[in-house]
Amino acid sequence: MNHLPIAIIGGDLRFVRLCQLLIDKGHNVYVYGISHPDIPNQATICSSLEDVKKCKYIIAPIPFSKDNNTLFTPLSNVSISIEQFFLVANNSFVLLGALNNNLKLLFKKHNIQYKDLMDMDEAAILNAIPTAEGAIQYAMQNSEITLHDSQCLVLGFGRCGKILAHKLYGLGANVSVEARSSKDLAFISTYGYTPIPLKDLKNHLDKYHFIFNTIPAIVLDTEAIKKMSKDTVYIELASAPGGIDPCATKTLGINYIPAPSLPGKVAPKSAAKIIYHCFSLILHDMGEFL
Ligand code: NAP
């Protein structure tokens, strides 16, 4: 068995479960920026960020940062500045997720070797499964009707949009899917969903019980929101800026449900397995075995 020194810094419950997976495989795991009773006893709890310097591999949070200043550490009171992180990570390989373009530039400037899981199709596709299940859970929790026989609109037909539409269809919902490419629209009708071209979206908005957005760009402006039924539950899955202005939904009486980071919330064990699987693929490419 290969005993790799691996640091886990920050992150949500997924990273607690990942810690257990790595320990079970015999790796030497160092943890900083997570305080949780389920962190296994065999893990080394670091008292300072400096302690992770000896690790060849660092697993950093997903998302890496929410404020562009500090790492995402929801399970700890410690605040880790990105600048501090760069000082300890310069000799390690960093696995992380959801870096924005500004942070990508900073990593480049500091010459830190990293891989963003969200840039791996395999990770994003597998992650779309807990995301879709979480979206469905949120829809059920926030309405008084069944998804069966309901009118659902999925905005976007990328990795999350495809898997969510498939699962909603399986539950007996009437599924419409918005896309902007004619190829996607053709696939949408082939699967038995109603295709909605982006340019026609505003003409269809009055009939949905649920709208699930997977597009990280504003596609529904105030005029569009005014056309939505007041009974619509809008579930925001996409990262900032999302598909709609939440303040406008409040003013116009639409039930806006933010649904960020669902894999870590609804299926942390499954999500940890996905991170582990993708980490092992990355290491394999580097000639290392997890
Ligand atoms: P993806 O595969 O890139 O799909 C994005 C979709 O949005 C595509 O259909 C794309 O259309 C469309 N799109 C992008 N920009 C657009 C624009 N300006 N106007 C119209 N359509 C546009 O991404 P994904 O993996 O499905 O992820 C979708 C979003 O969910 C991302 O923001 C991701 O960060 C987020 N996410 C959230 C969670 C959660 O727990 N909430 C989990 C995973 C992912 P084209 O193909 O035509 O470009």
Count of C-beta atoms within a 10 Å radius of residue 136:
22
Three-state DSSP class for 95?
Answer: strand
Type of residue found at 178: E
The pLDDT value recorded for residue 1 is 59
The pLDDT value recorded for residue 71 is 98
Structure confidence by residue, pLDDT tens digits, 79-107: 999 999 999 999 999 999 989 999 999 99
Q: Which atom of ligand 1 is nearest to the CA of 260?
A: 41
Three-state DSSP class for 194?
Answer: strand
The pLDDT value recorded for residue 32 is 98
Atom 2 in ligand 1: residue holding the nearest Cα = 158
pTM: 0.92
Distance CA 238, CA 194 (A): 21
The pLDDT value recorded for residue 11 is 96
Q: Are strands 210-213 and 151-155 parallel, antiparallel or unpaired?
A: parallel
Residue 134 has pLDDT above 80, yes or no: yes
Ligand 1 and 182: CB distance under 6 A:
no
Average pLDDT in the 151-162 region?
Answer: 98
Residue 168 has pLDDT above 90, yes or no: yes
Structure confidence by residue, pLDDT tens digits, 59-83: 999 999 999 999 999 999 999 999 9
Atom 28 in ligand 1: residue holding the nearest Cα = 214
Average pLDDT in the 121-136 region?
Answer: 96
Task: Categorize the per-residue pLDDT at 289 as very low, low, confident or very high, splitting at 50, 70 and 90.
Answer: confident
Average pLDDT in the 132-146 region?
Answer: 98
CA 216–ligand 1 middle distance (angstroms): 6
Structure confidence by residue, pLDDT tens digits, 241-255: 999 999 999 999 999
Ligand 1 and 156: CB distance under 6 A:
yes
Structure confidence by residue, pLDDT tens digits, 30-58: 999 999 999 999 999 999 999 999 899 99
Ligand 1 and 29: CB distance under 6 A:
no
Which is nearest to 249 in space by CA: 222, 283, 211, 281?
A: 222
Encoding tokens for residue 39?
Answer: 């962190």
Atom 11 in ligand 1: residue holding the nearest Cα = 156
Atom 46 in ligand 1: residue holding the nearest Cα = 158
Ligand 1 and 177: CB distance under 6 A:
no
The pLDDT value recorded for residue 288 is 85
The pLDDT value recorded for residue 106 is 96
Mean pLDDT of the chain: 96
Average pLDDT in the 218-233 region?
Answer: 96
Given the structure tokens 């495809």, which residue do they identify?
162
Distance CA 36, CA 147 (A): 36
Ligand 1 and 150: CB distance under 6 A:
no
CA 220–ligand 1 middle distance (angstroms): 15
CA 254–ligand 1 middle distance (angstroms): 22
Structure confidence by residue, pLDDT tens digits, 175-195: 999 999 999 999 999 999 999
Task: Categorize the per-residue pLDDT at 280 as very low, low, confident or very high, splitting at 50, 70 and 90.
Answer: very high
Type of residue found at 270: S
Which is nearest to 225 in space by CA: 200, 241, 202, 209?
A: 202
Is the separation of the CB atoms in 153 and 209 below 8 Å?
no
Q: How many residues does the chain have?
A: 290
CA 61–ligand 1 middle distance (angstroms): 20
CA 215–ligand 1 middle distance (angstroms): 4
Q: In this prediction, what percent of the chain has a pLDDT beyond 70?
A: 99
Ligand 1 and 161: CB distance under 6 A:
yes
The pLDDT value recorded for residue 98 is 87
Encoding tokens for residue 175?
Answer: 């599924």
